[in-house]
Structure 1
């Protein structure tokens, strides 16, 4: 090679950025996998103490920092002509995936906060959440009910669950039980859990019935019953 010859090297800054982006997504996947394994083994090996919950929150904070770094890269990539449209789209899609995963983890942390943080709630059984969503079939709704009790209380809970919907039909108030509205015996009324129980099923409201609110009644054996009312417009998606 003669002195003064020009050497051209193939420099791919975008590939480097996409590589580190991929590593961030993989790291997030590891966190989610660990969490999912814990839940599958009884739901509480990974989050059965405040310290472990704090660790998950720290993981989320680390991922948040990765997200900010990726956002900075997106801004830089927008301002340079060295990246083609497909590479920029890859970065943008990966960033959105990361944001969705963070949101999902935050929701899971909030769910377990009520179990592992007894100072934040009263002792005993609690109705953690209740949601109703329409299905593809006209008039058919799918519901999900989550019940919990504090982690330090490991007594097995047995009993039954009653769910009612109050509303108006033909100008008259009416109270209907979910167990009478199921088209395929999908309503489970049996209570049996130690830390949490998720109950779900389908209900079909009568034609002309206008729902106002849903009442969930927990009747555990040997314990005080728990009742909570949910406005239909708030829980029905």
Structure 2
């Protein structure tokens, strides 16, 4: 207060108050200007952030489109792969069928390709009404022009899997009739049939057949055959 009185006395009250008013006005104007500058800065920063967000949204939309395209391409590739696998599987099945047909015609047209004209033509399997019980028939025939009576025995093995591991069983140990003998004796053809009961959990895949052939009580030879385990609808039995 003393300083203000001294200033009034020296410069006059009017001059002092005018100076204070001008100073206060300049201070307010400076504050207003600084406020406007800060507000403009905030506005620019906000616009920059909004622009950044828009760019990120555009990039996100573009990436989403590319991801959708890749998904569609992946689905198409998966379908194409499935189709290719199906075609390969079909080709393999056709090849197996052709090989079977070729083997059959070889037996008919060129019996010398078999063991002395003796042929194990088929091994058929049929499911029965009993649990794990199957009926089988083994078809044998003689292709020689001069047919003499053939005799012999059969050693049959079932090969498959059990509990995730490879497993095989001798068919004679699975016969429902344990007294049945796996032997043959015929001049033209014979069907050897019977019933077997599979062990629980055993999944058969192939049948291995080994036979010893005798004629006039002398061993004529051996024959080995392999068949796939394939179920048929009906079986019939006849021999001569």
Rg (Cα) greater in structure: 2
The structure where helix makes up a greater share of residues is 2
Q: TM-score range by the shorter chain?
A: 0.3 to 0.5
Q: TM-score, normalised by structure 2?
A: 0.46
